Amino acid sequence: MHGNQRIGGTEAQAGSAGKAGAVVGIDLGGTKILAGIADLEGRVLATLRQPTEHGPGAPVLDQMARIVVALAAEAGLDVKAVRRVVIGVPSAVSPQTGLASLSPNLALPEDRPLAELMAKRLHLPVDVENDVNLAAFGEAVAGAGRGLDSVAFLSFGTGVGMGLVIAGQMLRGAFGRAGEIAYLPTGAGVHDRAPVSENGLFEDEVGTRGVLSRHPELGGVRELFERADAGDAAARDTIDDLARRSSVGVAAIHALVDPEVTVIGGGFGSQPWFFERIRHHLAPLLPFDCRLEPSRHGAEAGMLGAVLNAVHKETASVST
């Protein structure tokens, strides 16, 4: 994919980016990688999507290094113009050690910081953040939460995750585990079920694996939404049940954090029928109103958040 566009702004000129520098944002997922290169004003020059490489020795690290080079070439830039890379990963990333953990859907090195491993490959500054935190950052800066002081982002897809931005800063937690809502203990018998849950009880309820375990007749969640769009009443009932289960997590966010808005996104989070049914099922759970918005950036939220975070960090480093 290629495009010269500013996130919420005007068209970019690749030549000007070469003079001032560029940044790369990468959204690393278990099945695909989505990456973008932008100038220091946040104007996206090119994007690239690839299936994630898996195997011994974490081949995805070299894959991401190649993606940075390819993006620079696609944007008409020398790779030396790239000043910084920000990578979003589906893991808790410790602010203290930089180590990634709690990543059931993607095998990453747990003994060395991913940022360090990538910086050695690229010979430039690399920052690694939780992917949903970056999606929240993108929505707070240039999306559904723009102009607001507190923005939560709740992602529903293969897994479930939450990011929170307060006063322009991502809330990571002491050990990088803030927003690991997959482990919210929901349902009956939580003390017996939690120790044997691979991905967390809330994710067991609302993640893709949970949906397919309850409905093995489905070929995938995409098929479920396609059936619903075609008017299939049973599919709509299934989505309604999924939204009812999901609304518990939204209620927990608003009861504990009280954000100005919660943005719903992810693989199926922004689907209109699912979004509206979450809103419906949330209403009786709390004695106050909650503002919900669908993601403005859809599947690109994590990548655009990584790009914008890279711009933010690089411009801050230049000004100090």
Domain ranges of the chain: 2-130, 144-295
What is 2-130's CATH number? 3.30.420.40
Residue 158 contacts by C-beta under 8 Å, 6 or more apart in sequence?
A: 29, 30, 31, 105, 207, 208, 209, 267
| Environment class of 316 (CB within 10 Å of its CB; exposed 0-12, middle 13-18, buried 19+) | exposed
pTM for the whole structure: 0.90
- For β-strands 43-51 and 2-6, DSSP reports them as antiparallel
Query: Which pLDDT tens digits describe the chain residue by residue (320 residues)?
Result: 444 444 543 334 444 455 579 999 999 988 899 999 999 999 999 999 999 998 888 899 999 999 999 999 999 999 999 999 999 998 889 888 888 887 766 777 778 899 999 999 999 999 999 999 999 999 999 999 999 999 999 999 888 999 999 999 999 999 999 999 999 999 899 999 999 998 899 999 999 988 999 999 888 888 999 999 999 999 999 999 999 999 999 999 999 999 999 999 998 998 999 999 999 999 999 999 999 999 999 989 999 999 999 999 998 876 66
CA distance 275 to 256: 21
Cα-Cα end-to-end distance for the chain: 35
| Residue pointed to by tokens 């509206």 | 276
| Residue pointed to by tokens 């691979």 | 198
C-alpha distances in angstroms, 3 versus 28, 34, 242, 298? 20, 14, 36, 17
Residue-level length of the chain: 320
CATH class of domain segment(s) 144-295: alpha beta
Backbone angles phi, psi at 193, to 5 degrees: -85, -35
CA distance 225 to 206: 15
CA distance 161 to 175: 16
How many other C-beta atoms are found inside a 10 Å radius of the C-beta of residue 109? 14
- Domain pair 2-130 / 144-295, same fold: yes
Contact present, 306 and 87 (Cβ < 8 Å): yes
